[in-house]
């Protein structure tokens, strides 16, 4: 997508979208590289450390076969197919088979419980699902409440009544399949929002969504491809960050992906994996980086070329730690499931300003606007808006026209995130609209306070919320996870409060400090402040 440039201004001003009228994700992200040469697509590391390498030729063959399985079982263009798997070879096979069949795939997080799973399958009216043994156990408890669910394909070797074996079905199927001719605007997948407020909504995306992600992925990974590039992320491939920013964007460029199904994120194990495989490109969410900082990880064998991060603002403390630990800057990005990767960073194009999300991605017109979609002056806090149309924007919220309409004002998609754009074009995250704290007449965003708290030597993670106060409307409360070696007592709480007063402002210090072992988070690593507010 991008033509490499030496300056951001040159890169941004010279960019033009080139979206073909006919486009299919399976063709673009797999078949183009399946030329019989055995080009490497996936390096899968199992829980015991064993490695399996799979080529694009093999992925293309297996996904064509599974497309035939789906067709033989009666699935037709436009039907929904859920993929309830963690990082694995089976996951891209299932998605690519759906894309080449004109079906709509639904990525589902492997750790979803029964309620979360039932809502998404019922809302989408999914006709088929691909899952593993753990997923099957959850499905057996809710299947009778899912009248549209016709077929369950199981990737394990176990036989279950009412389920179909994934691999034997593929082995028995023909390897001849003609990928349907899809428009770039034809629906390809439904990605459900993380549901931080109310029920999750299904963002229906078109095949063009992969192309819409490329300018930011290329800029923030310091241009792609480069010889020796090898990509890994601990982020689950059920989310837009893992599936499209990671797997599909890198496969578009023919760059191999590392897959690893870890039970939980282990900082030192992550370093050892990067060193062992010679990983060059990573997407590490801020939560992962905070855990690595907390554990003070080191490994001389890690040689990263690019670090891509997003989901929460890094802040200065974490930005500096990444630079000192890896010798390169983390390139922060901003976006959301509905319209992703609209802001980003590249230290070689413009200086990183700690705490800033970066500047507008080439191809995107990003402004700070009010609720009516009217542009606000630089330096003014408002809603981050993205001028439409653009290729990465969802088609709609699945069967929810009212919510879809509320997402737009004038020419802009409203992200629902508050931010500020400075005179040099850098964007600064303030908070979600519903996270703003009103205290003693001030409107305070929690992000700035959290960044200041992270500077204190005792703090590993922090989340700030407003709690009811009869005099001030709301008081500021900080929930803090401590680094090893610190005791959460009254003396430390007072020390932290004074630290914020001095570092930030007297009206922004937390009047209440609560120490905790963990913080409630979404599956994508964003703090669930509404749960903390409910705790008071």
Report the 10 Å Cβ neighbour count for 72.
Answer: 12
Pairing of strands 257-260, 40-45: parallel
pTM: 0.86
CA distance 231 to 224: 11
Residue 196 has a pLDDT of: 46
SS3 assignment, position 475? strand
User: Is 111 part of a structural domain of the chain?
Assistant: yes
Torsion, CA 506, CA 358, CA 350, CA 386, rounded to 10: -130
436 lies in some domain: no
CATH number at residue 151: 3.40.50.980
The pLDDT value recorded for residue 198 is 55
Strands (E), 60-150: 80-84, 104-107, 128-131
Beta bridge partners of 53: 43
Q: How far is CA 29 from the centre of its chain?
A: 19
Place of tokens 């192309």: 211
* Nearest partner of 60 among 20, 99, 21, judged by Cα: 99
Phi and psi at residue 150, to the nearest 5°: -95, -45
Domain boundary (182, 206, 237) is at 182
Examine residue 495 and state whether it is found in any structural domain, yes or no.
Answer: yes
Does the residue 504 lie in any domain? yes
Q: Which two tokens stand for residue 238?
A: 């059920």
85 part of a folded domain: yes
Domain stops at, among 160, 182, 204:
182
The number of residues in the chain equals: 536
Domain-ending residue, one of 182, 206, 241: 182
The verdict on residue 27 lying in a domain is: no
- Structural domain harbouring 147: 51-182
Rg (the chain; Cα; Å): 23
DSSP H or E segment with residue 270: helix 267-277
Exposed/middle/buried for residue 113 (C-beta within 10 Å: 0-12, 13-18, 19+): exposed
d(CA 241, CA 220): 13
Exposure string (b/e) for 238-252, b if CB count within 10 Å is 16 or more? bbbbbbbbbbbbbbb
Angle, helix 490-503 to helix 446-454, in steps of 10 degrees: 110
Domain-located, residue 464 = yes
Number of structural domains the chain divides into: 2
- The answer to whether residues 304 and 273 touch, using CB atoms and an 8 Å cutoff, is no
pLDDT (tens digit, 0 to 9) for every residue of the chain, 536 residues total? 899 999 999 999 999 999 999 999 999 999 999 999 999 999 999 999 999 999 999 999 999 999 999 999 999 999 999 999 999 999 999 999 999 999 999 999 888 888 889 989 999 999 999 999 999 999 999 999 999 999 999 999 999 999 999 999 999 999 999 999 999 999 999 999 865 445 789 999 999 999 999 999 999 999 999 999 999 999 999 999 999 999 999 999 999 999 998 888 899 999 999 999 999 999 998 888 988 998 999 999 999 999 999 877 788 889 999 999 999 999 999 999 999 999 999 999 999 999 899 999 999 999 999 999 999 999 999 999 999 999 999 999 999 999 999 999 999 999 999 999 999 999 998 877 777 787 876 667 787 788 889 989 999 999 999 998 877 778 999 999 999 999 999 999 999 999 998 877 777 899 999 999 999 987 667 788 889 988 88
CATH code for position 453? 3.30.300.30
Q: What is the pLDDT of residue 216?
A: 98
431 domain residue, yes or no: no
Cα 460 to Cα 16, 100, 185, 457, 536: the distances in Å are 42, 45, 44, 8, 21
């Amino acid at each position: 997508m991008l033509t490499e440039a030496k300056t951001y201004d040159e890169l941004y001003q010279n960019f033009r979208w080139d979206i073909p009228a006919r486009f299919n994700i399976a063709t673009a992200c797999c078949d183009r590289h399946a030329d019989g040469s055995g080009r490497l697509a996936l390096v899968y590391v199992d829980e015991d450390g064993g490695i399996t390498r799979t080529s694009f030729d093999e992925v293309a063959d297996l996904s064509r076969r599974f497309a035939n399985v789906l067709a033989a079982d009666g699935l037709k263009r436009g039907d929904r197919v859920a993929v309830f798997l963690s990082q694995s070879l089976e996951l891209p096979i299932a998605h690519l088979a759906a894309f080449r069949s004109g079906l709509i795939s639904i990525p589902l997080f492997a750790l979803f419980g029964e309620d979360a799973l039932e809502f998404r399958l019922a809302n989408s009216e999914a006709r088929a699902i691909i899952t593993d043994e753990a997923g099957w156990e959850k499905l057996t408890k809710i299947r009778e409440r899912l009248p549209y669910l016709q077929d369950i394909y199981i990737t394990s070797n176990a036989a279950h009544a009412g389920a179909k074996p994934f691999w034997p079905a593929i082995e028995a199927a023909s390897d001849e399949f003609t990928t349907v001719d899809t428009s770039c605007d034809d629906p390809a997948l439904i990605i459900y929002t993380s549901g931080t407020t109310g029920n999750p909504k299904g963002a229906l995306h078109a095949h063009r969504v992969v192309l819409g992600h490329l300018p930011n992925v290329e800029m923030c990974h310091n241009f792609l491809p480069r010889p020796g590039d090898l990509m890994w992320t601990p982020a689950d491939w059920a989310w837009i960050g893992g599936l499209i920013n990671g797997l599909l964007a890198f496969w578009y460029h023919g760059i191999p992906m590392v897959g690893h199904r870890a039970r939980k994120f282990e900082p030192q194990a992550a370093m050892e994996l990067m060193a062992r495989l010679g990983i060059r490109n990573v997407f590490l969410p801020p939560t992962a980086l905070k855990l690595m900082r907390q554990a003070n990880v080191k490994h001389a064998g890690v040689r990263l070329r690019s670090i891509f991060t997003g989901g929460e603002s890094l802040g200065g403390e974490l930005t500096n730690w990444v630079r000192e630990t890896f010798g390169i800057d983390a390139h922060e990005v901003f976006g959301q499931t509905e319209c992703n990767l609209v802001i980003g960073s590249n230290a070689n194009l413009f200086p990183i300003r700690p705490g800033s999300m970066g500047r507008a991605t080439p191809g995107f017109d990003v402004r700070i606007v009010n609720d009516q979609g009217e542009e606000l002056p630089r330096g003014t806090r408002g809603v981050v808006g993205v001028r439409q149309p653009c290729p990465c924007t969802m088609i709609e919220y699945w069967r929810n026209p009212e919510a879809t309409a509320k997402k737009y004002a004038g020419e802009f998609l409203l992200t629902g995130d508050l931010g500020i754009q400075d005179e040099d074009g850098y964007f600064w995250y303030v908070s979600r609209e519903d996270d703003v704290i009103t205290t003693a007449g001030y409107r305070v965003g929690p992000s700035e306070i959290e960044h200041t708290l992270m500077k204190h030597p005792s703090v590993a993670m922090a989340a700030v919320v407003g709690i009811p106060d009869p005099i001030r409307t709301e008081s500021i409360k900080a929930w803090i996870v401590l680094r090893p070696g610190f005791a959460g007592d009254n003396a430390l709480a007072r020390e932290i409060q004074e630290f914020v007063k001095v570092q930030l402002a007297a009206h922004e210090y937390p009047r209440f400090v609560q120490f905790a072992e963990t913080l409630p988070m979404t599956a994508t690593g964003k703090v669930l402040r509404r749960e903390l507010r409910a705790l008071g």
